[in-house]
Chain A
Amino acid sequence: MTIRLYDYSLSGSCYKVRLMLGFLGLDYDRVQIDFYPGRQHRSPEFMEINPLGQLPVLEDDGLRLRDAQAILCHLANKHDDSGQWLPRDQARFGPVMMWVMFAGGELMAASAARLHDALGYDLDIEAARAKARAAFRVLDDHLTGREIDGGKWIVGDTPTIADVACFPYVALAGDGGLGHEEYPALRNWMRDFRRLPRFHAMSGIPEFV
């Protein structure tokens, strides 16, 4: 069995997958894609691998998957015997999927702000930051409620793929000129997340929080 990840170190979406592979203790081969400045993810060769021209892509025993959220679901579904990362019970499955979709949807505004500030993407930065702040507000409010109820993860009593999916672009907010000052529950949650066994940071995530 071989797992292969088409990867770019500075991508928060690839980082989600690297985190998950690490938490599950899975070995994998890495294919380095020159996302910037080479735009290799838009090359004809890569478009054959993923016609959407996006990273990450995961190959697992003949199965080829795109979309970080889908890959997290797959890895947890196939490789986590404990069922912790993707709970199947009715109380948790739906909420976990809801926050996983949120990570691939609303939260990606924080990724856009980062691409603008760091890599010079041409987009409406104020709009991106406003949307990112609105998304942070929603998650911070949710985690505040969780704290009041005695919980520290997004859903349930253990970290799930919802936490893995949401962590990168919240933690990388500073790269897009977004501070964490207004989001105390996000800060508490990030602190707990960083203490997980086999956690590793990526460039742009401050080590001194």
Chain B
Amino acid sequence: MTVTTDPVALNEWVPCAWHGQIAIGAALDTMIFGQDIRVERTGDQDYRVTTFGGDSPRELPVQTRYTCVFTTLGDDPRALPEIPEFDEADRRITGCGRVGVNTSPYRIVENFLDMAHFSFIHTDILGAADQTEVLSYRTEHRKDVDEIWAIDCTFYQPAASKAAAGGQLTKYLYRVMSPFSVMLYKNVATDPSRNDAICVFIQPRRETECLAYMPMAIVDEQSTIADIIDFQQSIFLQDRVILENQRPALLPLDPTYELPTRADASSIAYRRWLKAMNIRFGILEKQAA
């Protein structure tokens, strides 16, 4: 495809590499929204991102946060979200590299928000085959930060995290920070007063070709980083199978196209929000009747 002209998508920060992926002095060629970009690592914490191919090259803004390198093609981008858990000293902070997923970015966000699939796709880990009910939860559009939240979510989980010693009723909070980023807070097995913070930031290469980054800030004194990464990657590669099999890959915003149930309340809120911001990139155009 050519570079998107959708101003809503262009004015988002998206990841383009994970910190550590590129050696100092080296560069990585990748793509965002159909635009070829080159990510050069000029110093330990310093990156330079430039466009190439097509129009005359230009340098793009860069920031390194949450284990990722972010850039944007827009002139007036929405700010990156604040996630204070990443600044807490005792947290285990890690990314999981990046995983390719051939679908639209919104399908990845919706899957992350969905609790109904836990018992079927993540059987014996995030859900049990005999406890499949998604209990009622609430969604809200927090207008001060322009984010979608799903609150009061609970789900029975046989092995909620690497640190979990047995089944637990896990409390979840979901937070959609932008069309291309989502995170959850889930209560820590060993300390009910704290929440693990697990994010997905999506790099849309093209409309149905994405790279998913999963920064995490975890409370877990026992597990190795390799164990924590392995747990998260194993979950995500279970999701990847169903993600790549969803049709259409582009997201329909016409409410008559797919029939939601009450468990899909967070997805409904997300789609309404996307529709209200009039985003076009990766969206299924309404078909004539």
Residues of A within 8 A of B (CB): 8-10, 32-34, 36-38, 40, 117-120, 174-175, 177, 202-208
Contacts and interface: CB of A to CB of B under 8 A. Distances in A.
Interface in B215-238: 224-227, 229-230, 233-238
A9 B228 CA distance: 12
Interface string B224-268: 111101100111111011001100000000000000000000000
B121 A207 contact: yes
A37 B18 contact: yes
A118 B21 contact: no
A203 B96 contact: no
Contacts of A38: 225-226, 229
A8 B211 CA distance: 21
Given A32-B224, A37-B97, A203-B234, 16 more contacts: A9-B234, A10-B230, A10-B233, A34-B226, A37-B21, A37-B98, A40-B226, A118-B237, A119-B99, A119-B100, A120-B211, A175-B241, A177-B102, A204-B240, A206-B241, A207-B123
B234 A117 contact: no
Most B C-beta atoms less than 10 A away, residue of A37, A117, A119: A37
Interface string B76-105: 000000000000000000011111101000
Contacts of B234: 9-10, 202-203
Contact of B100 (A37, A118, A206): A118
Given A32-B224, A34-B225, A118 B97 contact: no
Most buried by B among A10, A34, A174, A207: A34
A9 B231 CA distance: 9
A118 B18 CA distance: 15
Contacts of B100: 117-120
A118 B99 CA distance: 5
Contacts of B97: 36-37, 119
B20, B95, B229 — which one has the most chain A CB atoms within 10 A of its CB? Answer: B229
B238 A203 contact: yes
11 contacts: A9-B234, A37-B18, A37-B97, A38-B229, A118-B100, A119-B100, A174-B241, A174-B244, A204-B237, A207-B121, A208-B120
Nearest to A8: B230
Contacts of B95: 37
Interface in B104-133: 120-121, 123
Given A37-B21, A118-B100, A175 B230 contact: no
Contacts of B229: 34, 37-38
A186 to B, nearest CB: 17
